[in-house]
Amino acid sequence: MTRLVRINNERVLAVDERGEPGGKPVFLLHGTPGSRVGPLPRASVIYRLGVRLITYDRPGYGMSDRRFGRTVADVAEDVAAVADALELDSFAVIGRSGGAPHALACAALLPGRMTRAAALVTLAPPEAEGLDWFRGMAASNVIEHTTAASGSGPITALLAPAAARIRADPTDLVPALDDDLPEPDRNVVADYGIRRMLAHNFAEALRSSTAGWVDDALAFCSPWGFDPRNITVPTLLWHGDADVFSPAEHSRWLGRRIPGATVVIQKGAAHFGALQVLPDVLAWVTEA
């Protein structure tokens, strides 16, 4: 059952919980576009690991109110507020794809409450010194990020037609990805269950507006509001070496700056390989 958590008496976030009510609390931050409904690890995995899995719609997605002008760093306030509402003193955070920079923000800004953080197929900050940010990135993502750098109007105009198509047919974005997918991703997305979860996820994300997608794109291309070098909690960076949506060099760049970070670059995997490693990552963030 979805719970609406009020933030500062101004807006609400839609929150779901799965797994053991008294289990080890883990926030799983969704991709872009995305929502609280997934894709998620199997229920059997969540229960076997004794996890209390918490997901929520980032502002502007699904049932959550928009937060105009939000930055990546603003996620820390929202996660802390949800944790307070659930009476959690400490927790781990996993972020996949668009959720990964947000997981790093939590690690940097909530060190007293975070136990471990994992960022799967993350982007690096746009001002990453020494990183060729667009090298190896698919044309569709280059267009999205460069358009977002031009401001709210251009990125809204770019994404609105795609969002309208998804609302009309939630499967639209899944086959649309195929033109850019490397073979490892094609193999993952070929699974009917994965495609169904992705379609459900996209439909819920964009059920009422394009706002969350637009605001994510703007946040990624603006200063994030924290320095990765300030992260002190144990942090895992996972990436597939064939990723064309957020190239693996982004994780390598972050790994050289986050003190003590564990960096795993998996050969023969790509962007959607992050879905397959989620059970192992859940096990890692909940280790004693």
Give the DSSP letter string of 98-152.
Answer: GGHHHHHHHHHH-TTTEEEEEEESPPPPTT-TT--TTTT--HHHHHHHHHHTT-H
Cα gap 212→196, rounded to integer Å:
21
What percent of the chain is predicted at pLDDT more than 70?
Answer: 98
Q: How confident is the model at residue 175 (pLDDT cuts 50, 70, 90)?
A: low
Helix and strand counts by DSSP (H, E) for the chain: 11, 8
Determine whether 45 is exposed, middle or buried from the number of CB atoms within 10 Å of its CB (0-12, 13-18, 19+). middle
pLDDT score for 180: 74
Cα gap 7→174, rounded to integer Å:
33
Which amino acid type is present at position 269? A
pLDDT score for 1: 85
Read off the pLDDT of residues 12-64 as tens digits, 9 standing for 90 and up: 999 999 999 999 999 999 999 999 998 999 999 999 999 999 999 999 999 99
Using the predicted structure, report yes or no on whether residue 172 has a pLDDT greater than 90.
no
Contact 233, 115 (CB under 8 A): yes
Read off the pLDDT of residues 213-254 as tens digits, 9 standing for 90 and up: 999 999 999 999 999 999 999 999 999 999 999 999 999 999
Cα gap 14→229, rounded to integer Å:
31
Q: pLDDT: is 190 or 113 the higher one?
A: 113
Q: In what order do the strands lie in the sheet with 91-96?
A: 3-7, 11-19, 51-56, 24-29, 91-96, 114-120, 235-240, 262-266
Read off the pLDDT of residues 94-127 as tens digits, 9 standing for 90 and up: 999 999 999 999 999 999 999 999 999 999 999 9
Q: How confident is the model at residue 145 (pLDDT cuts 50, 70, 90)?
A: very high
Using the predicted structure, report yes or no on whether residue 174 has a pLDDT greater than 80.
no
pLDDT score for 245: 95
pLDDT score for 81: 97
Q: What is the DSSP letter of 226?
A: S
Q: What is the mean pLDDT of the chain?
A: 95
The pTM for the full model equals 0.96
Contact 91, 27 (CB under 8 A): yes
